[in-house]
Structure 1
Amino acid sequence: MSLSLSLRALPRSSSACSHIASVQVCRRTYYSIHHPDPPPFPPVQATILASAIQHVPRLGFTQAAVTAGAQSTGYLEASTLLFPRGPFDLIRYHLVTERLALKDRVQFPADSKLGLTEKVKKLVVARLIANKDIIGHWQGALGHMSLLENIPASLAELGNLADEIWYLAGDKSVDFSWYTKRAQLSAVYASSETFMTTDQSPGFRDTEEFVERRLGDAKTVGGAAGGFTDYVGWWAGNGLGLARAWGMKV
């Protein structure tokens, strides 16, 4: 499996859009403060999904939540046909919007004394905590993400998140470690996200400690020691196991 990782270090001047499952996907081929990100979803889909996500704490990542989102924004129930993957389209909306919100949620001053590892930890924990309101439904979401038809998009978004975290932490590497760092961080995040679904500690303190241990296991953040193998192995084992546990045919 390949990751869709974006080379921020190589600015270009064009962008491309495609359609996946009736959802517009725009991928920039440049990364610059002078060229803002294009909207990740067309307006109608974004409006419905933004409303549907508010129903997730009660209904979970389900077709019922998508339908409720359409109805509460004044669209006919037939508008849910815009989302042929149903729950996964809603899950993907959550993944993309929370990734894009990370840059506003965590910012480091220019004179910050934090090292790269500590910045990465803070960003990972901040992204995990963004799941707190829907954490009771996240094992089910992971199950949907592990269905064979959803794995490519799920892996691509996990890769995009790892890319975003390293970028926001200030990583400027342009050698082969660029890839190993992102593969390794993807493995750390995926395992931490699963751990969080069973964390009962106040404020998810145990999850934060788990993240710290997993980053520490790497000894040097970004080392090549099995990062990609762990990453793919998580999806082959834990991810499919979650899908089967939720009664999904995989």
Structure 2
Amino acid sequence: MKTEHDDAQSATKVALLDAALMHVPFDGWTEVTFQAACQDCGVDQVLAQAIFPRGAVDLALAYHARGDALMLQRLATEDLTGLRFRDKISAAVRFRLEVVDDKEAVRRGTTLLTLPQYAGDGARAIWGTVDAIWTALGDGSDDINWYTKRASLSAVYTATVLYWLGDDSLEHQATWDFLDRRIDNVMQFEKLKAQVQANPLLKPFLAGPNWLADQIKRPVGRDDLPGSLTPRR
């Protein structure tokens, strides 16, 4: 149950993030931006540090999480009935980019989260996005496919974001075409895998790898990266 303290902390978090976004285009997700956000909001820096222990890095991750939440809200209101599943995936990725209100904030965040010391945070953020997409679209896999679906979409999403950051086409049409091509590539690879699995001449050679893959289950906890191995019961 939420308390008044939780509500106050959430409001402060939102205020700090909104204030920071005014400075990010000029100063990036930096300590300068963090301190400016505190000053703009009149929030004591000790309190702000308690909410965002790593300062601007945690602000950048909060901004990414906000985008995920807005994407899920749109997915919940859009009627995707009748679309092929690959088109639903494409729509979800497009929604995630369309909820961005400041491309420069994403550009600066991408630069920050690819630094060696924050690369793990960046990978976790992307994994969280694609996991949210698969979960929202009703993915029920509980085996190795849970991982491969998210790994494939992570690659597609990352490539699409990088393309989108440099895209100046009308309404980002070039990005959406690029996204469709990347998803087509994944679908072609999945088709090839199915053909290999169905080939009777290859079954003896695939028995060992298939057995090993069958032991991998989806993670029990949902806050790890990319998941955990759990034995079959």
- Describe how 1:50-61 pairs up with structure 2 within 5 A: 50-57=18-25, 59-61=27-29
> Matches of 2:132 and 2:57 in 1, distance apart?
22
**1:150 matched residue in structure 2:** 118
Rounded Cα–Cα distance in structure 1 between residues aligned with 2:71 and 2:179 = 17
Match for residue 104 of structure 1 among 56, 68, 73: 73
Equivalent residue, structure 2, for 1:29: none
Partner of 1:210: 178
1:176 matched residue in structure 2: 144
Q: Is the 8 A contact 1:162 1:182 kept in 2?
A: yes
Preserved CA contact (<8 Å) 1:158 1:186? yes
Unaligned runs of at least 5 residues, structure 1: 1-37, 226-250
1:70 alignment partner AA: C
Q: Over the residues paired in the alignment, what is the CA RMSD in angstroms? A: 2.9
Contact residue 124 and residue 189 of structure 1 kept, 8 A: yes
2:39 matched to 1:86?
no
Aligned residues of 2:34 and 2:55 also touching (Cα < 8 A): yes
What TM-score, normalized to structure 1? 0.64
Partner Cα distance (1:188, 1:182) in 2: 10
| Deviation of the 1:141 alpha carbon | 1.9
**Rg bigger for which structure?**
2
How far 1:160 sits from its partner (Å)?
1.1
Does the 8 A contact of 1:184 with 1:224 survive in 2?
Answer: no
Percent identity of the aligned residues?
26
Distance 1:50 1:76, change over 3 A: same
SS in structure 1 at match of 2:187: coil
Distance 1:66 1:181, change over 3 A: same
Q: Tell me the SS of whatever aligns to 1:219.
A: helix
Contact 1:70/1:80 (8 A) holds in 2: yes
Q: Which amino acid in structure 1 is aligned with residue 180 of structure 2? A: E
| Structure 2 CA distance for partners of 1:144 and 1:109, relative to 1, 3 Å | closer
Match of 1:139 among 107, 113, 125: 107
| Whole-angstrom distance in 1 between the partners of 2:190 and 2:129 | 15
Secondary structure, aligned partner of 2:139:
coil
- Corresponding residue of 1:128: 97
Structure 2 distance, partners of 1:223, 1:113, is 22
Aligned residues: 186
Structure of greater relative contact order (alpha carbons < 8 Å, 6+ residues apart): 1
> In 1, Cα distance between the equivalents of 2:73 and 2:32?
31
| Greater helix proportion | 2
Task: Indicate the residue corresponding to 2:203 in structure 1.
Answer: none
Contact kept, 8 Å, 1:184 with 1:222, in 2: the verdict is: no
CA distance in 2, matches of 1:111, 1:150: 35
- Aligned-residue offset at 1:98: 1.1
